[in-house]
Chain A
């Protein structure tokens, strides 16, 4: 099927959307247009002044048009991150 996302299914993935947001969740499915099902997801909101804020969101369908990046997350490394002390510029949206 589509672009080799099969190996990511039922794994934790990090999604960057074209509006510059970062979603983390379990990839439950996808289709040929890269519409994604993301389960138990949260959004990571980056800021230069405070640590990374995590917003619990739950079950999502993200439309493929809007997906810029899908990456598999190494949960061991991810769990070791100290997000509360991490400061970063938020990503800019992609302009079309």
Chain B
């Protein structure tokens, strides 16, 4: 599974983004692109030391400044479904050409051959919703 496919699937979900400068942004993902640039809405920004907070209605973040993103656990299971549907559509529409196109695309979805069908525990989801900061 490609990280950017997961990120695309996470659109409209809440997430926490930590930047390389240490600031964190909690908000809903509106959109993202192949460079990991993102738009968030209803954002809470936390300063690096965790002592100052800002509310922003929306913001745009350059992908190259991101350290990591925390995404709700259930999103990883949604990627699988979406991809299977997409692959099926591609096979139906274009026959053999789908595969070739995919290989030429830098961030093509697909390649789930060895992903086992494993249910996700929801145990950690609560922690995420609590918005507990991972850093001190």
Contact = CB atoms under 8 A, between A and B. Distances in A.
Direct contact of A and B (CB under 8 A): yes
Interface of A: 9-10, 17, 19, 28-31, 35-37, 39-40, 43, 45, 55-63, 65-66
A59 B67 contact: no
Contacts, number: 81
**Chain B interface residue count: which class?**
20 to 34
Interface of A is mostly: strand
Given A10-B116, A43-B134, A58-B124, A63 B68 contact: yes
A61 B68 contact: yes
Contact of B76 (A28, A31, A56, A65): A28
Interface of B: 1-7, 20, 36, 63-64, 66-73, 75-76, 107, 114-116, 120-121, 124-125, 127-128, 134, 136
A66 B25 CA distance: 18
Contacts of A39: 73, 76, 120
Which interface residue of B3, B66, B75 has the most chain A CB atoms within 10 A?
B3
Contacts of B116: 10
Given A31-B4, A40-B124, A66 B71 contact: no
A66 B76 contact: no
Given A29-B2, A31-B107, A43-B134, A59 B73 contact: yes
A16 B20 CA distance: 15
Given A40-B121, A59-B70, A63-B67, 6 more contacts: A10-B116, A30-B3, A55-B134, A59-B73, A60-B71, A61-B3
